[in-house]
């Protein structure tokens, strides 16, 4: 079977939707997408998804431009359900 390279993914928007997506990634319910979560961005460091990411050792930042400093290509997902 062909081995797929993981797609580096960062989520912009660290609210409840972000946390729900992270939980699916960690539970491997999205494993067929071959994603590697590399970062979370939110201007509010108190956002539930932002804090959840920190608790799980995922890179967090308040400025999306910081993602350009990460090694390798990164696909961004914007999650904002307000």
Q: pLDDT (tens digit, 9 = 90+) per residue, 11-35?
A: 999 999 999 989 988 887 777 888 8
Sorted by where each begins, the domain ranges of the chain are 7-78
Cβ 11 vs Cβ 77: under 8 Å: yes
pLDDT (tens digit per residue) in 45-73? 999 999 999 999 999 999 999 988 888 77
The predicted model scores a pTM of 0.82
CA distance 26 to 36: 10
Nearest one of 82, 1, 2 to 42, comparing CA atoms: 82
Which segments within 1-82 are labelled E, that is strand?
7-12, 35-41, 60-61, 75-78
Which CATH architecture describes the domain 7-78?
3-Layer(aba) Sandwich (3.40)
* Complete edge-to-edge strand list for the sheet that includes strand 75-78: 60-61, 35-41, 7-12, 75-78
């Amino acid at each position: 079977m062909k081995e797929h390279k993981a797609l580096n993914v960062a989520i912009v928007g660290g609210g409840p939707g972000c946390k729900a997506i992270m939980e699916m990634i960690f539970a491997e319910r999205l494993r067929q997408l071959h994603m590697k979560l590399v970062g979370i961005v939110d201007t509010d460091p108190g956002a539930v998804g932002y804090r959840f990411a920190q608790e799980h050792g995922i890179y967090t930042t308040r400025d999306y431009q910081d993602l350009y400093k990460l090694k390798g290509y990164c696909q961004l997902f914007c999650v904002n359900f307000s």
